């Protein structure tokens, strides 16, 4: 390949730098505003790019009460349990649909794809959750979105790309289908599993609409608490009229809740980054 000219490399570097600045600036503003004092927020019109005297007063205030703390634990629990259950169910269904000559495989696959093209509406889903007795139950945040058709198709395509000779060799050793899944398929599917788990985790963590329909406000996850607070501007935490609660401005509280709701899921990406591109491309190309 021809070596790029210096002016081309410089233009690419400048464009990349501009994009990085545009992407990182909102994050820096959110973090800086959450650490700023009320006087700095007022003097800067509600936003701070670099606080002169950083303070954790806003974070102490939101965690001094039970609203954000409880909502955080709800989000963590729903994300962990929901992701584990979704990955397990998706893996088993995708493996069954990926194997040739499975009884009822094609009709089931067509039914699954039909739900992808024609998803159920809000009213039928609500009536189903209500009839199952799951209103104000944490299972209502998991069961309706237990299996994603997109993730199912990605895993099915990845399983189909595994050489058939491995399955035949395992059968010659007297291994059953479940043992083949655990000992042969899953060890070869770490990249795809990591991507699917990440998709599920992000979906559960960012979900708020289901909570607004199925749950009472004392069982809300963090994203619904964040949405309600940002829209209504209501104070969170215990307000004692003194100390940190009296010092915090509404903008700092909003940005602090936003940071708490965003940072945990961002910390997952570095551990799965090496699997992300490989898993998505491998599963998508085959399917």
Say which residues have a Cβ less than 8 Å from residue 211's Cβ, sequence separation at least 6. Answer: 141, 219, 220, 221, 223, 224
For residue 142, pLDDT beyond 60: yes
pTM of the predicted protein model: 0.78
Q: pLDDT (tens digit, 9 = 90+) per residue, 62-78?
A: 887 678 888 888 999 99
Place of tokens 């009822």: 104
CATH T-level assignment (fold) for domain 64-220+269-286: MetI-like fold (1.10.3720)
CA 36 to chain centroid, in Å, comes to: 28
Q: How many CB atoms lie within 10 A of CB 84?
A: 13
Contact yes or no for 75/142 (Cβ under 8 A): no
Domain boundaries, the chain: 1-55, 64-220+269-286
> Chain-wide mean pLDDT for the chain?
81
Contact yes or no for 286/160 (Cβ under 8 A): yes
Length of the chain equals 287
Q: pLDDT (tens digit, 9 = 90+) per residue, 97-139?
A: 888 877 877 888 888 888 888 888 888 888 988 898 888 888 9
Q: pLDDT (tens digit, 9 = 90+) per residue, 222-262?
A: 888 888 777 765 444 444 443 444 445 677 888 888 888 88
Distance, in Å, from the CA atom of 196 to the CA atom of 209, rounded to the nearest integer, reads 21
Contact yes or no for 138/74 (Cβ under 8 A): yes
Which H helix or E strand runs over 194? helix 190-206
Q: How many CB atoms lie within 10 A of CB 194?
A: 19
């Amino acid at each position: 390949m021809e070596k790029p000219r210096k002016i081309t490399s410089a233009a690419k570097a400048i464009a990349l730098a501009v994009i990085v600045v545009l992407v990182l600036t909102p994050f820096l503003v959110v973090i800086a505003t959450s650490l700023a004092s009320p006087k700095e927020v007022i003097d800067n019109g509600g936003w701070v790019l670099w606080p002169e005297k950083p303070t954790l007063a806003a974070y102490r205030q939101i965690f001094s009460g039970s609203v954000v703390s409880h909502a955080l634990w709800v989000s963590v629990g729903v994300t962990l349990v929901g992701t584990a259950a979704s990955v397990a169910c998706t893996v088993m269904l995708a493996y069954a649909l990926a194997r040739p000559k499975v009884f009822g495989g094609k009709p089931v696959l067509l039914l699954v794809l039909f739900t992808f093209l024609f998803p159920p509406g809000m009213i039928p889903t609500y009536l189903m959750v209500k009839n199952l007795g799951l209103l104000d139950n944490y299972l209502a945040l998991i069961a309706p979105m237990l299996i994603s058709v997109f993730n199912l198709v990605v895993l099915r395509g990845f399983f189909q790309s595994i050489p058939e000779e491995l399955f035949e060799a395992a059968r010659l050793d007297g291994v059953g289908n479940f043992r083949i899944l655990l000992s042969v398929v899953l060890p070869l599917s770490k990249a795809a599993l990591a991507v699917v788990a990440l998709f599920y985790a992000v979906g559960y963590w960012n979900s708020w609409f289901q909570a607004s329909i199925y749950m009472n406000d004392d069982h809300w996850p963090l994203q619904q608490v964040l949405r309600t607070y940002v829209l209504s501007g209501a104070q969170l935490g215990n307000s004692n009229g003194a100390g940190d609660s009296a010092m915090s401005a509404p903008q700092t509280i909003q940005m602090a809740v936003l940071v708490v709701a965003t940072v945990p899921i961002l910390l997952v990406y570095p551990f799965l980054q090496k699997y992300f591109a490989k898993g998505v491309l491998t599963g998508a190309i085959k399917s």
